[in-house]
């Protein structure tokens, strides 16, 4: 699908917002179906990416240096 955004790199996929905007004005049912399928795929990808980022462990900070004890 051609990309009309001059700011986007040629091989960079369209954002889900771009796809949603195109779908909202598409009159051809076949093209609309294709856009909606692409939109769903893009949203699934973004959701999976966000879930993966949330699962990364956070390194806990130590309250006290090793070997020092409080009384």
Contact 13, 26 (CB under 8 A): no
User: Could you tell me which residues come within 8 angstroms of residue 57 by beta carbon, excluding any fewer than 6 positions away?
Assistant: none
Closest C-alpha to 38, from 53, 52, 50, 21: 21
Domain boundaries, the chain: 16-53
pTM score, whole prediction: 0.59
Tens of pLDDT, residue by residue, the chain (71 residues) = 444 555 555 566 788 899 999 999 999 999 999 999 999 999 999 999 888 888 776 666 766 666 666 55
Using the Cα atoms of residue 10, residue 38, residue 1 and residue 5 in order, give the sign of their dihedral. negative
As a whole number of angstroms, the distance between CA 53 and CA 48 comes to 9
Please give the DSSP secondary-structure letter assigned to residue 14. P
């Amino acid at each position: 699908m051609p990309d009309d955004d001059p700011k986007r790199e040629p091989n960079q996929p369209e954002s889900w917002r771009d796809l949603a905007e195109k779908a909202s004005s598409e009159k051809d049912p076949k093209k609309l179906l294709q856009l909606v399928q692409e939109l769903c795929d893009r949203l699934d990808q973004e959701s999976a990416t966000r879930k993966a980022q949330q699962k990364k462990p956070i390194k806990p900070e130590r309250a006290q240096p090793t070997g020092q004890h409080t009384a």
